[in-house]
Amino acid sequence: MKASDKAYAELRRDIVSWALPPGTVLGEVEQAERLGVSRTPLREALSRLTADGLAVAHRGRGVLVSDVSLDHVDDLFALRRALESEAARGAALAGRPGPFRELAERFDAASEALEPTSDRNDYYQLAGELDQAIDESAANPYLRQALTGLRVHLARLRRLSHDDPQRLRASAREHAQLARAIASGDPGLAAAATVLHLHNSLDHIRSHALPKEATA
């Protein structure tokens, strides 16, 4: 693996996981030493992070890890609604119901199995599988790229809201319905299920927000 790829992957992981919280200064020499690479590949990594919107250049002061706060959540979800509705439409039109029927059943199982003690990461992974299946069926590289860029921001946003098992169960039911809508081949229904799910999701985030902790 190239050193620049390694630096990019590691920095990105640290940013998404909040190991490098918003506002952190990413000095070139400092990070180059930490990651064991030279400044040249690290610069390229920072360039890519900036293009992703995970970092912002701050003239004379290096690049900072970009801010994430609930102030942006409405804008983020407006874009998400536009993109994911389109993707769901495309997936429904693709006419490949098999994988979605299967995913719907797995979401059904998840909605009943979810306990307060269970690991939410399992659920996030299942949701990720549905996203991936939609992307593949929609088969639109431009849309896919836009969604990929968006999902990075959404992953960072998770840290800002409590997620209780009750909401996760409801979310699983909504996902199951979305999967079935796609399997049915009805693009309008698939888009509607998407819009509904995103509305509920945003609603939950707003009403269960953590006290402000990121102000960089």
Among the residue ranges 28-36, 84-92, 99-107, 159-167, the one whose residues contact its own copies (CB under 8 A): 84-92
Whole-angstrom Cα distance, residue 168 to residue 175? Answer: 10
Number of Cβ atoms within 10 Å of the Cβ of 90: 19
Taking alpha carbons only, the member of 105, 141, 147, 140 closest to residue 126 is 105
**Does 26 engage in binding with DNA (CB under 7 A)?**
yes
Residue 35 CB, shortest distance to DNA, in Å, is 9
**Does 85 engage in binding with its own copies (CB under 8 A)?**
yes
Residue 20 CB, shortest distance to DNA, in Å, is 14
Residue 201's identity, in one-letter code, is S
**Does 150 engage in binding with its own copies (CB under 8 A)?**
yes
Whole-angstrom Cα distance, residue 103 to residue 133? Answer: 9
With 0-12 / 13-18 / 19 or more C-beta atoms within 10 angstroms meaning exposed / middle / buried, residue 119 is exposed
One of 24, 38, 69, 140 touching its own copies (CB under 8 A)? 140
Number of Cβ atoms within 10 Å of the Cβ of 160: 19
Among the residue ranges 47-55, 97-105, 127-135, 170-178, the one whose residues contact its own copies (CB under 8 A): 47-55
Q: How far apart are the first and last CA of the chain?
A: 33
Q: Site map for DNA, 39-58, x if CB under 7 A?
A: xxx-xx------------x-
Which of 5, 203 has the CB closer to its own copies? 5
Contacts (CB under 8 A) with its own copies, residues 26-45: 40, 43-44
**Does 142 engage in binding with its own copies (CB under 8 A)?**
yes
Q: Residue 23, by phi and psi: left (phi above 0), alpha (psi -120 to 50) or beta?
A: left
**Does 48 engage in binding with its own copies (CB under 8 A)?**
yes
Residue 126's identity, in one-letter code, is L
Residue 5 CB, shortest distance to its own copies, in Å, is 11
